[in-house]
A and B are shown apart, each in its own frame.
Chain A
Amino acid sequence: MAKEATAPTLYTVAAPPHWHCGRTVTGVMQQYILALVPAAVMAVVYYGLPALRVMALSCATAVAVEALCCRVMDRESSVDDFHAVLVGLLLAFLLPAMAPWWLVVMGSALAIIIGKMFFGGLGGNPLCPAVVGWAIVALSWKTQADPDAMVLSTMLVNPLTQLKYLGLEAAGQVSLTDMLLGRQLGGLGATQVLALFAGGFYLISRGLLRCYVPLAFLAGVLLAGLAFSLADPGAQPGPLFHLFTGSVVLAAFFLATDPSSSPVTRPGMVAFGLTAGVMTVLIRVYGIYPDGTPFAVLFAALFTPVFDLLRPKPFGAR
């Protein structure tokens, strides 16, 4: 027949829906990295090339280790989705600018291997990979991962350690404006509060980040901080001090919101954010760490399956 002579035109056959919002994993990761650029620039402004060195080394290690993992696991390489770069950058943000190279490599590699690839890659990880990497190196090499011990050639002080060891008065030497602008010692990117706020709100305004976790996290920190400062105004700083110090803002917008380790329902996200926020202040007040934020994020993520039970009744259910 004549029909067989001409090759049939091939059309795409796929399940509905045939439209898509256009948001892809690669696109989202690129936007997240873009949102971190202001903080990275600020970090270089305050700490110079050493900060750039840590960030570059961390990102490069993460990508290389993920590529290697994919090869060992005999599966298609997933480095082209930019998630490894994001993990590397977030880990670098938590480390001191003067961290030794082996610590950065160690943290970045462990973040990818133990934080992500052990669980099958993106989507399977039960905890935020960057925080896992940071927690392992911070507990294993306390001195080298501690900004107070490593960054000596600076006039910046860490308000959290001042508060922990010298009291409220010493902590008061860093004004809130200084904290906002990043003039405080800490993780190289985590302390760039204003830049991180800008990045976070950029993502929210683009619809790439849901506001529930970040706002609940910040609300949790503020509420708990307010409660403690009201209970003991002589020894405890105000809630804004807790908000602008340590890695609270980084955690609220970028660490706690790690998609696969955070809940998916609205009430779950709010409960998750509040838990992590309150836990941050609790660790700061009662714990041995001046800044408990990353640990609070890990703690809350452990309860994500429980928070996911907070889901609405389905349509038509009684």
Chain B
Amino acid sequence: MKKNLGDKIFKGIALFSSLFVILLVFFLFVELLIYSFPSIKKFGIYFFIDKIWDPVTERYGALPAIYGTIVTSILALLIAFPLSIGIAIFISELAPPALKRPLSFIIELLGAIPSLIYGMWGLFSLAPLVQLKIGPFLQRILGFLPFFQGYPLGVGYLTAGIVLSVMIIPTISSLSREILMAVPIDQREAGYALGMTKWEVIWKIVLGNARSGIFAAGILGLGRALGEAVAVTMVIGNFPNISVSLFSPGVTITSVIINEFAEAAGQLKISVLMELALVLFLITFLIMGLARYYILKRIEGR
């Protein structure tokens, strides 16, 4: 009888804890929705297609911010993903055992550095480098592409993308490493016993086995990049703009919120920023949800 009661209490606590998280997410969403209502009512769909951001006439378009967020995050993923896979393969498959631990440790430390520090590095070291070396170099060899037109200012999409990529490498690489290391030995031995070379075993067997997990790691990294605020604000240039050229300055959802929240006067302005937050919330939610769905489908398909 007594034991039964304990079980019930424990079950209650566990149930409450998990419900609490779900409720928290739900109320967060509802709260954002309520606050953004004036903005939704005033701008409607134009909020998403208007490029103009003018506090004086109270005309607010979110397109530059949405565009900037997506461009910088995808750029970050494009840079960070292959590097992270390389790091993960090196640590799990190739590095001598004495090197594995210190390497993983250092990479995990990278993830523990506050984003402000990455922002400072981006602004003081990387931005001049982009302006004087990386930018001109890219222009020389890839200048025919629309992405590398114009004059590199130092701050802008490219710099923000690079800073973000460094910030998400620890996330993607340490997750991928764990996933690679979790591929059973017997899968590798099966490959070797069939006469595969080490590279064939790594590429076709280990990565093949781990692909949905690695995909998920990439998506988690992307999620982190989408939501990153401080570092991006420091290097994005903060100019409401939509440009294909990666050298251009721009804004992201997070940078707009950070820059304008403190001095947001009037209900409409606050509501606009709330709607931006809502958009970010939905974008991340959607991407994570799609990734989850895709992975689940994969696993069940087996």
A and B held together in a complex: no
Chain A residues within CB distance 8 Å of chain B: none
Chain B residues within CB distance 8 Å of chain A: none
